[in-house]
Structure 1
C-alpha cells in the first residue's frame, strides 16, 4: 500500500502572494480544512509544506503555504501532487476504500473465474465503475453492493457476481 496518498494537484498560481490553485482528488473537498502540512515531490524526495490558509472557489481549493510568498515561488509548484501520509487520511466509513488501494487487486467471480486486475475506478454520478483488465479484455463493472460480494485489501482479492450479460 502507498504510504503517501495524493489528495490534490496544484494546477496554477492564484494571485501574486504565493497562493496556489488545487484540483482536489478527494470526495470531501472540505477535508483540506483539517490539513496542517502536506508533501510534494521535488527531486525524487518529499518536501513538507506547512499550510497557512485554505479557501474555496467553486470546485477548487486555494492554498497558501508558509514560505511561499510570491507568484514565482508558487509557480514552481505547478503540476505537483499534494500528498498526505496515510495516517493523516480521512477515516473512511465501513465498506469504503481508497482508490489507490484497489488498483492492481485481482478480481474474480464467485465460481473462481479470474476476470483481471483493477486498472482504474471511474467516478460517475450514481456509482463508481471499476475498470478490470486482463491480457485479452477490459471489463467495466458497476461498483454496486449487489455485484461486489467481497473486497479484501489485505489478501488483494475482490469477488464479484456479475450481472447477466455483462461479459
Structure 2
C-alpha cells in the first residue's frame, strides 16, 4: 500500500495526522502553600522543568479537567506550582493527595529494558522457585531508588526496592520480577521478626 493520505482541512490545506498520546503520572500534590492556590508537588518525572513549566497542562488522575501551570519552581521538598484554574487555597485543597498526569507522545522506539511506571502496575513478583508473591500495585521513589509496592500472598503487602541483589531478574511485561526473599527480609517477616522496610516519602508540610 502507498503512504497514508493526509486529512484535508476545511481551509484546503493539508493537516498532519495527530500524534498518538498517552497520559503519564508526573507528580502528586502533597500539600497546599499560602492563600493564592499554590500546591506543593512530589516530583515523579525526570523532567520537571518541562512538565511543570509555565503553560504546561496537567490533568488530575482519572478526570478530563485541565490545569494550566502559571508559575512553578523547586522548593524542597518537591516543587511549588500555581495553576490558572486554582485561584485560592480552598480550591487547592481539592487537589491534595491527587496524582497529576501529563499527555506525552506514545513511545514506539523505547529502549529495551526501560519501562514507564504505569507499565509496572500488575507485574508479577515471584521468588526464585517461581512461587507468586503478589503483584505490583504502586511505584514510588525513595533514597534515589525505585520502590515497588507489592500486594498478595503469602506475605501480604510489602515494599520491594528495585535494586540488586534483591531483584534477581526483571521482566515485568513477561515472566515477572524475581526476587531473593532472604535478601528482602520476607523470611524474617514470616518468622514474626521485625522487617526492614523502605520508607515512603511523607506528606510535606504546607
TM range (shorter): 0.5 to 0.7
**Is 1:22 aligned with 2:22?**
no
Q: Give the TM-score, by structure 2 length.
A: 0.56
**Cα pair distance change 1:82/1:95, threshold 3 Å:** same
Gaps of 5+ in 2: 1-21, 188-206
Q: Deviations over 1:74-105 (max 9, x none)?
A: 4364324321125389xx98755444332321
**Residue 50 of structure 2 aligns with which residue?**
34
1:48 aligned to which of 50, 66, 77? 66
2:120 aligned to which of 90, 95, 102? 102
**Residue 132 of structure 2 aligns with which residue?**
114
Runs of 4+ residues over 6 Å off in structure 1: none
1:108 Cα deviation after fit = 1.7
**Cα pair distance change 1:160/1:86, threshold 3 Å:** farther
**Cα pair distance change 1:50/1:140, threshold 3 Å:** closer
Give the root-mean-square deviation of aligned CA atoms. Answer: 3.6
**Residue 28 of structure 2 aligns with which residue?**
9
Looking at secondary structure, tell me which structure has more strand per residue: 1
**Is 1:71 aligned with 2:88?**
yes
In terms of Rg, which structure is larger? 2
**Residue 150 of structure 1 aligns with which residue?**
169
Gaps of 5+ in 1: none
